[in-house]
């Protein structure tokens, strides 16, 4: 890997490829029982107990406005670490499947397209051109608003 490349964890949502900085990823686990938390948004599925630590879980498919899909043996929870109001927090994101860790050259990443002023694309780092199809690279820190992150910190029992 040269200095122009960066590692991304590639995962699938609704048959589209997404990537996130591998340094944000703590671990990948299979789907498991999630304890719902009342009075939370649809995308906030609840919490899990991961080796004695309570981890809040969001369904990225629902957060992005895609229709819900039944979880399968391929469904994964990617446990990530984010900067929260109280310091570093861990959170799980549900994705359809994890496909690979990919080295992506900076030269193969284009800025996100401008869709007009109404659509928020702050959470998109860029679009990576691949051999077969493009990958949408996410700034996972910006997928949730500051208010949503605070709510998840509070409701997630951290």
pLDDT in tens, 2-17: 567 899 999 999 999 9
Mean pLDDT of the chain: 88
Give the model's pLDDT for residue 1: 52
Give the model's pLDDT for residue 88: 85
Element (H, E) at 99: strand 97-105
Q: Are 23 and 139 in contact (CB under 8 A)?
A: no
CA distance 63 to 151: 15
CA distance 85 to 122: 19
| Tens digit of each residue's pLDDT, the chain (158 residues) | 556 789 999 999 999 999 999 999 999 999 999 999 998 899 999 999 999 999 999 999 999 999 989 999 999 999 999 887 778 889 999 999 999 999 999 999 998 876 655 556 788 899 998 777 889 999 988 888 888 888 877 776 54
CATH of the domain at 46: 2.40.50.180
- Parent domain of 140: 5-155
Give the model's pLDDT for residue 113: 74
pLDDT in tens, 103-118: 999 999 998 876 655 5
Question: For the whole model, what pTM was predicted?
Answer: 0.89
What phi, psi does 23 have (nearest 5°)? Answer: -70, -15
pLDDT in tens, 141-154: 888 888 888 887 77
CA distance 77 to 92: 6
- Total number of domains in the chain: 1
Give the model's pLDDT for residue 158: 44
Q: How far is the CA of 81 from the CAs of 65, 90, 132, 152, in angstroms?
A: 23, 4, 30, 13
């Amino acid at each position: 890997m040269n200095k122009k490349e960066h590692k991304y964890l590639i995962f699938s949502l609704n048959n589209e490829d997404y990537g996130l900085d591998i340094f944000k990823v703590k671990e990948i686990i299979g789907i498991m029982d999630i304890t719902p938390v009342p009075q939370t948004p649809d995308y906030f599925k609840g919490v899990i107990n991961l080796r004695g630590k309570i981890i809040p879980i969001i369904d990225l498919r629902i957060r992005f406005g895609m229709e819900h899909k039944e979880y399968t043996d391929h469904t994964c929870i990617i446990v990530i670490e984010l900067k929260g109001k109280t310091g570093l927090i861990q959170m799980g994101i549900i994705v359809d499947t994890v496909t690979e860790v990919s080295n992506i050259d900076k030269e193969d990443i284009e800025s996100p397209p401008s869709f007009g002023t109404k659509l928020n694309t702050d959470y998109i780092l860029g679009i990576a051109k691949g051999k077969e199809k493009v990958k949408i690279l996410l700034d996972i820190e910006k997928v949730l608003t500051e208010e949503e992150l605070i709510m998840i910190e509070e409701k997630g029992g951290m």
